Chain A
């Protein structure tokens, strides 16, 4: 009996410790993006995924430079018309992760591509304003963006059906009617 209890205890401890380990902030992997610019770097960060993805897709940090992420995270109480404020510790934790993996961090191919088309001092607030994004979507007519089934250009997953997995290649695109 005692051994059974002890066994349960050990299992619980191991489970708890591994849960804790996975919820700790991680810097993600460098260059874990397969080399193309239609696959987002594979990153894991508990607070980023939990907080940012509660309202929208957790946009890859590789799509904006550090200066942009500092602006975004500095104005969360007025985040594109909504209050997305966080407690200071979580906010700082997420910003560190975004900066470490930003377009100008040199950690992803896609980030390099975004930076190739960006003025060095630019710090756009919207991914959709970057020249890289505009060029990538130049064949999509304005009316398509306005469709109710799309909603807005912020809704990547409307057309990129595997966006949640970081997959953005053209084969996975289905534009809704």
Chain B
């Protein structure tokens, strides 16, 4: 009995250990978009990150408005709370949790672009961040 519980515990831990990676998200989004992973474009990802769009208060806004121009730096929410850096090279926690990644794409694309992002855009975005050293 104890052995069975112990194994269940180990299985849970190993399931946790084999979490997602930036590369696995790129593969998933490329497949969803019907393109090869090699067709994801860091340049398009960067353009998406820096692209400015009219916000609700009239001012222009982009991903960089909160995440700063350099994704290796920490950003700040509108009420002053720290946002950990987006680039996986300085923040290995990024792009390791599917629910979290989907939640923030849904929220932030709707806020900045006034629409959801496509699978291609999400793939491009991660492709750019993932090659920042």
Contacts and interface: CB of A to CB of B under 8 A. Distances in A.
A174 B106 CA distance: 37
Nearest to B8: A13
Contacts, number: 69
A118 interface: no
B5 A57 contact: no
A84 interface: yes
Interface residues of A, number: 29
Q: How large is the interface on B (under 10, 10 to 19, 20 to 34, 35 or more residues)?
A: 20 to 34
A23 interface: no
Interface string B91-127: 0000000010001001110110000000000000000
B78 interface: yes
Interface in A1-35: 6, 8-10, 12-17
B110 A83 contact: yes
Interface of A: 6, 8-10, 12-17, 53-57, 77, 81-87, 151-152, 154-155, 157-158
Interface of B: 2-3, 5-10, 12-13, 56-57, 77-81, 99, 103, 106-108, 110-111
